[in-house]
Amino acid sequence: MFIRLLLILLISSNAWGQSRYIDYQSPFHPTINKRGMVASQNIESSEIGIEILNQGGNAIDAAVAVGFSLAITLPRAGNLGGGGFMMIYLKERDEIFAIDYRGQASASTNLDELFNTNPSRDYANTNFEVVEYGYKASTVPGTVSGLLQAHKNFGKLPLTEVLKPVIRQAEEGIRVSYDLEQAIGSSSQLKKDAESRRIYFKDGSPIKQGSLMQRPDLAKTLSLIAENGAKAFYEGEIAKKFVLAMQLNEGLLTDADLKNYKSRFSAPIGINYRGQKVFTHGPPSGGGIVLLTALNVLENFDLKKHGSNSSTTYHLLAEALRRGHNNRSHHVGDPSFYKTPIENFLSSERTKQLARNINFKKATASSAIKPLKVRNESKDTTHYSIVDEEGNSISNTYTLGSSFGSGVTIPGTGILMNNQMNNFAYRFGDKSIKGRAASPGNRFEPGKRPMSTMAPTMIFDKNDNLSLITGSPGGSFIPATILRVVTGVIDFDLNIGESTMLPRLHKDWPYSGLDHESTVSQDVLKVLDRLGHMPELSKTMGSTQSIHIIDGSNQGYADLRRPNAGVAIQND
């Protein structure tokens, strides 16, 4: 009797335990809350954003703190010496703003000075490597201007309070991660610069995992900015160190270049996609045009019918992306120098022209995709998304260009410089070039901002409520990365974790191959190869940091493709 009773109790207990167990539909779990949320490529920086929100700051204050913090925690991409694009949504005003703080070429530089020859006349003997690394590779940094422009217009807390935890982080230091040690070791340009060697190397080797990396030089720079704002960076003590370093190393930037730099507000660009409004940044971003063009093309097809991982869906994504990259490869440039025909790019006439020759049984030849009648980036950018409990939101993408940019650190400042001079189309006019290297819109001109594929994105649902904040690093892969997340959420009704972890592909123009992640099914790849896409295995694509808002609840997800990313939240 006792044994029978014991068995009954054990069986009942086991059944009760199973009934209480939560069985999730997906292994990719979003972080969920109803107050403030920060998703960035480093969890320590995300937590600093939450610290600012807990002090009464808004999403803009948090974005400023996170942007400065990533220069410490993610120095290969987070930065004060680079530039980018920011989207801001103010809930109470129901308005979206875009800020262009892309780097800008020196106003006093010409091609002869840059290359010691004129590449428009002599391509064969032009040494384009001079704009890859070193002091001639950098545009005027825009990050400080852009972040402080946002704070000045929309922030709540004093700048000194916003930067206080970031200064503390620089002073106290961070523990070097495995990823950071490996990134330093794989960036040879750092070793060529004495100041970078001093900071990132010890006894000739990259600073070791687990080591404490303190940044007193950067802390001092941040303190000067906290007290004196953008003027400290562009005209004050920091600017003087910039100019001296440039003069000593045959750099291009002058005191006038720094003093005259201004981030600028611009109108976001957008379309309707299946009843939802998709907004992103316009030129000099070309990535936004790729994304919106691809969505326009895909609107002509029922993706949901085919499934998120079918060969037909991958084929349509590839065809749409190829047409999007065609749109950006010729007539996208700095709006101060070149009028990009955005309305024409996104018009129904252009969309019909692009969609008309998509064949379900064959990949479209690049020659069949005609440019509208009227240089690739590095993958080491970073993005973060923020929402506060009032509903104000930020989507921000910025970059140094290559991993650790030009490799140059300005002595005494801790500031790594970008290599965005590499992003101009120096072969403008070369008839042998079909791609972006000869783009008339992105030709080099003094004082100009180069084209970028960064595309911070916000989506509003059919009731005009903000529903998705996203963006990614990844160079030319950025539009494909965001497109996969957006279609995952809208077309296939996946949660943000599932949408983020869908296998990704990239199809450019005029190049023939199709880049894909290792997680794409071999059966699918065989079909794509048979269609003529020429699949090529790529490393992982992008690192989206996204917040999906559903019925007032935030669902955040940090892409698993790169380590140390994380979502931080205000507790409900």
At 278-300, the pLDDT tens digits run 999 999 999 999 999 999 999 99
- Residue 432 pLDDT: 77
Which tokens is 173 given?
């230091």
- Residue 429 pLDDT: 75
Mean pLDDT estimate for the chain? 92
- Residue 41 pLDDT: 97
Q: Note whether residue 563 is domain-resident.
A: no
Instruction: Say whether both 248 and 157 belong to one domain.
Output: yes
Does the bond joining 27 to the residue before it have cis omega, within 30 degrees of 0?
Answer: no
Q: Exposed (0-12), middle (13-18) or buried (19+): which is 20, by Cβ within 10 Å?
A: exposed
Instruction: Convert the pLDDT of each residue in 433-482 to its tens digit.
Output: 777 888 889 999 999 999 999 999 999 999 999 999 999 999 999 999 99
The whole-angstrom separation of Cα 525 and Cα 237 is 56
Instruction: Convert the pLDDT of each residue in 332-344 to its tens digit.
Output: 999 999 999 999 9
Q: What percent of the chain has pLDDT over 90?
A: 84
Provide the annotated active-site residues.
381
Please determine, for residue 16, whether its predicted confidence score (pLDDT) is greater than 50: no
- Residue 129 pLDDT: 80
- Residue 465 pLDDT: 97
Please determine, for residue 374, whether its predicted confidence score (pLDDT) is greater than 60: no
Q: Regarding beta strands 514-516 and 535-537, do their DSSP bridges make them parallel or antiparallel, or are they unpaired?
A: parallel
CA distance to 63, 100, 103, 398, per residue, from 143 (Å): 12, 10, 8, 8
Instruction: Say whether both 388 and 434 belong to one domain.
Output: yes
pLDDT tier, 120 (very low <50, low <70, confident <90, very high otherwise): low
Q: Exposed (0-12), middle (13-18) or buried (19+): which is 93, by Cβ within 10 Å?
A: exposed
Residue written as tokens 């000869």? 438
Q: What percent of the chain has pLDDT over 70?
A: 93
Q: Note whether residue 566 is domain-resident.
A: no
What is the arithmetic mean of pLDDT over 534-561? 96
Instruction: Say whether both 214 and 116 belong to one domain.
Output: yes
Instruction: Say whether both 252 and 179 belong to one domain.
Output: yes
Burial state string for 311-330 with b = 16 or more CB within 10 A and e = fewer than 16:
bbbbbbbbbbbbbbbbbbbb
Please determine, for residue 20, whether its predicted confidence score (pLDDT) is greater than 70: no
> Of the given ranges (16-20, 253-257, 264-268), which has the lowest mean pLDDT?
16-20
Instruction: Say whether both 294 and 389 belong to one domain.
Output: no
Q: Note whether residue 373 is domain-resident.
A: yes
Contact 384, 545 (CB under 8 A): yes
- Residue 8 pLDDT: 46
Instruction: Say whether both 397 and 489 belong to one domain.
Output: no
Q: Note whether residue 557 is domain-resident.
A: no
Instruction: Say whether both 223 and 296 belong to one domain.
Output: no
Contact 56, 157 (CB under 8 A): yes
Q: Note whether residue 541 is domain-resident.
A: yes
Instruction: Say whether both 331 and 468 belong to one domain.
Output: yes
Instruction: Convert the pLDDT of each residue in 261-274 to its tens digit.
Output: 999 999 999 999 99
CATH code for the domain of 312 = 1.10.246.130
Structurally, how many domains does the chain consist of?
2
Q: Exposed (0-12), middle (13-18) or buried (19+): which is 236, by Cβ within 10 Å?
A: middle
Which tokens is 506 given?
């990239």
Q: Note whether residue 531 is domain-resident.
A: yes
pLDDT tier, 511 (very low <50, low <70, confident <90, very high otherwise): confident
pLDDT tier, 15 (very low <50, low <70, confident <90, very high otherwise): very low
Cα-Cα-Cα-Cα torsion 357, 359, 362, 368, nearest 10 degrees, comes to 0
Range of the domain at 546: 266-377+453-550
Could you give the 3-state DSSP secondary structure of residue 98?
Answer: strand
Instruction: Say whether both 373 and 393 belong to one domain.
Output: no
DSSP 33: E
Residues 6+ apart with CB under 8 A from 305: none
pLDDT tier, 2 (very low <50, low <70, confident <90, very high otherwise): very low
The whole-angstrom separation of Cα 542 and Cα 549 is 22
- Residue 460 pLDDT: 98
Please determine, for residue 53, whether its predicted confidence score (pLDDT) is greater than 90: yes
Q: Which amino acid type is present at position 384?
A: Y
- Residue 227 pLDDT: 97
The whole-angstrom separation of Cα 233 and Cα 240 is 9
Main-chain dihedrals φ then ψ at residue 195, nearest 5 degrees: -70, -40
CA distance to 182, 183, 444, per residue, from 187 (Å): 9, 6, 26
Instruction: Say whether both 332 and 429 belong to one domain.
Output: no
Please determine, for residue 323, whether its predicted confidence score (pLDDT) is greater than 90: yes
The whole-angstrom separation of Cα 76 and Cα 551 is 37
Residues 6+ apart with CB under 8 A from 427: 119, 123, 433, 437, 438
- Residue 6 pLDDT: 46
> Of the given ranges (32-41, 111-120, 243-252), which has the lowest mean pLDDT?
111-120
Q: Note whether residue 537 is domain-resident.
A: yes
The whole-angstrom separation of Cα 139 and Cα 398 is 14
Contact 37, 542 (CB under 8 A): no
Q: Note whether residue 236 is domain-resident.
A: yes
Instruction: Say whether both 278 and 365 belong to one domain.
Output: yes
Please determine, for residue 399, whether its predicted confidence score (pLDDT) is greater than 80: yes
Q: Which amino acid type is present at position 478?
A: I
Please determine, for residue 220, whether its predicted confidence score (pLDDT) is greater than 80: yes
Instruction: Say whether both 166 and 288 belong to one domain.
Output: no
